[in-house]
Structure formats: structure tokens, C-alpha cells
Amino acid sequence: MSNEFLNRLLPENFCGTQTLYNEVMRENIIIHDLVYPHVFGKDQYIGQFSDNSVDELQLMGQSLDLPKGSRVLDIGAGRGRVAVWMAHRFSWKITGIDLAEIPIQEAKEFRKQFPSIDINFIHANIYDYQFDSLFDGLYGTGAFCHFNAENLFKHCYDLLQPSGRMTFMERIRLGPITNADWQHLTADWNCPYVYSKEEYETLLEKSGFKSLKAIDLTGPFRLWQERSVSVRENLKHDIIKLTSQNYYDASLNLAKYENDVTGKGLLGYMCFTAIKQ
Ligand SMILES: C[S@@+](CC[C@H](N)C(=O)[O-])C[C@H]1O[C@@H](n2cnc3c(N)ncnc32)[C@H](O)[C@@H]1O
């Protein structure tokens, strides 16, 4: 791993992460459900709080390649929409865990609408919770960025059965990110680092996994970033009516900023799948 970037590795900040998602849920959720069906497309939005569409969830689930009835862990399940979708689509027994109380409470409520699926949600930090048995697989969407990947992968290794599988979708670093951009992309979001593809793969191997697949989703991610800007502009009046001019300006500026960094070729998006050796 490049020392230049490694020197920028920040400590994990789960207090900050917890506050971030409790606040985001309180303030943003109406806007999220207004904006993102347009950003993703109606049939591609299920209430996910991550940058991936339903088609990409499907791809990720297929990469895990586990039979019906497998025990699968969703790390950082948020408000549980992805976990419920996975349980329906792949007939896995899903456990979703999240450290932020507001989204995971919402997940528990949401789950009640689907009595036939095998799913449960836990409010805890993944590092603190003792599970009663090992998992056949685990995944994360938009959650792994909050971790030091080396710490997390070692922990995931211990949570899996022999030959258990792990998959996740995350933003990746594609080019040299300036110090100012680094601050916005890491500290401002309580993310310790922006890993490159090679760094993720090196850390997977170092933690006892063999990389199976790395699917590049940068193309759709770029379009997603562009639409995050244009949809906000198109919905300006609705957003302001529900929030305030200040909220609208801040949210649009953030979307523009991320679109700009992505457009410069510095950020991409990938789905990684690995097997416990
Ligand atoms: C961007 S949200 C993604 C939510 C969900 N996976 C989705 O796609 O809708 C990231 C989630 O990871 C959770 N998270 C971050 N660190 C965690 C930890 N140490 N243990 C459990 N959950 C964590 C956050 O609370 C947050 O809800």
C-alpha cells in the first residue's frame, strides 16, 4: 500500500458515525425518499442508503453464490431495506446489524410487514456483539467505508464458517486525491480512508481471504453522481418546501462536489467478493 496515502489513515470514529446516521435519519429521510427514486430510477430504489441500484444488489447477491437457507449477515444494515430485499430475492436467513438506533429501529418496524421472511435486526456495533453461531456469508453496502478495512476484514474472517463468503460494494480511489478533498471524503463522513482496488485486495488476502471477483461499477456510479445534481435542481421547489433554502443549498453543493471529484476520475465504485481460506 502506498505510504503517501497510508499516512492519511484516520482512526475509526463510531461515535461520530452513530450520530451522523441518527441525524441523517431524522433530517434527511423525507428528502432521501423524494430524491433517490429519480436518481436511481423508480424500479431501482428500494430505500437503500447506499450508492448502489437494485440491479447492483442483484449482482452482489449472485456473487455471494450461496444456497437458499444460508445464514447471511448484513453489516451496517441501516433501515433494513437491502436486507429485506436480499432475504426475499435469495431466500437467505438474514441478520442485520447497525450501531445507529434510529435506522435500525425503522428496520425492525419495516420488517413486520414481511412475516414470512427469516430476518432479524440487532442494534449494536459489529465489533461488540457476540453472535451465537458463524455465518455462511456476509455483506455490506455503503457501510464498510466507515471502517479501517484491515480491522474489519479480520473481524469478518472470525464471523464466517470455513469457506464462508464476503461481498461488499464501496467507493474506491482511482487517482491522487488532494488533502482538501481527502478531508471531505473521509473525516467529514467519519470514514478513515478511501481505499483503491489494489489496497482492498491486498487487505483481503492479508486477512485470510482469497479474492474471487472485483466488478467495476464506476460507469453507473458516474451517471448516478450526475443525476444526484440534476434531480436536486429539478426538485428544488419541492425540497425547499419540505426543508429550507439552506438545506437545499448545502445538499446541492455536496452533490455537486462529489460529482466533480468523480468526474475528475478520482472516485469509482466496485463490488468485491472473497472467500475465507
Ligand atoms: C450508508 S449506511 C448504509 C445502510 C444500508 N447498508 C443501506 O445500503 O441502506 C451505513 C450504515 O453503517 C452503519 N455502521 C457503521 N459502522 C458500524 C459498526 N461499527 N457497526 C454496525 N453498523 C455500523 C451506520 O450506522 C449506517 O447505518
Residue 25: per-residue pLDDT: 74
Distance CA 166, CA 72 (A): 9
Cα–ligand 1 centroid distance for 30 (angstroms)? 19
Residue 44: per-residue pLDDT: 98
Ligand 1 pocket test: pick from 75, 101, 151 the residue with the most ligand atoms within 8 Å of its Cβ. Answer: 75
Residue 14: per-residue pLDDT: 97
User: Grid coordinates standing for 113?
Assistant: 410487514
Residue 5: per-residue pLDDT: 67
Distance CA 274, CA 111 (A): 29
Q: What is the pLDDT of residues 219-261, one digit of tens each?
A: 999 999 999 999 999 999 999 999 999 999 999 999 999 999 9
Residue 23: per-residue pLDDT: 87
217 and 166 Cβ atoms separated by less than 8 Å: no
Which atom of ligand 1 is nearest the CA belonging to 20? Answer: 25
Pick out the chain residues at pLDDT < 70.
1-5
Cα–ligand 1 centroid distance for 237 (angstroms)? 30
Say if ligand 1 is within 6 A of residue 80 CB.
Answer: no
Residue 35: per-residue pLDDT: 96
- Give the CA diameter of the chain: 53
Say if ligand 1 is within 6 A of residue 137 CB.
Answer: no
Residue 4: per-residue pLDDT: 63
Cα–ligand 1 centroid distance for 163 (angstroms)? 25
Residue 26: per-residue pLDDT: 75
Among protein residues, the one whose CA lies closest to atom 19 of ligand 1 = 125
Say if ligand 1 is within 6 A of residue 21 CB.
Answer: yes
Residue 2: per-residue pLDDT: 63
Among protein residues, the one whose CA lies closest to atom 14 of ligand 1 = 76
Say if ligand 1 is within 6 A of residue 49 CB.
Answer: yes
- Residues 6 or more apart whose CB falls under 8 angstroms from that of 76 comprise 97, 98, 99, 126, 140, 141, 142, 143, 144, 146
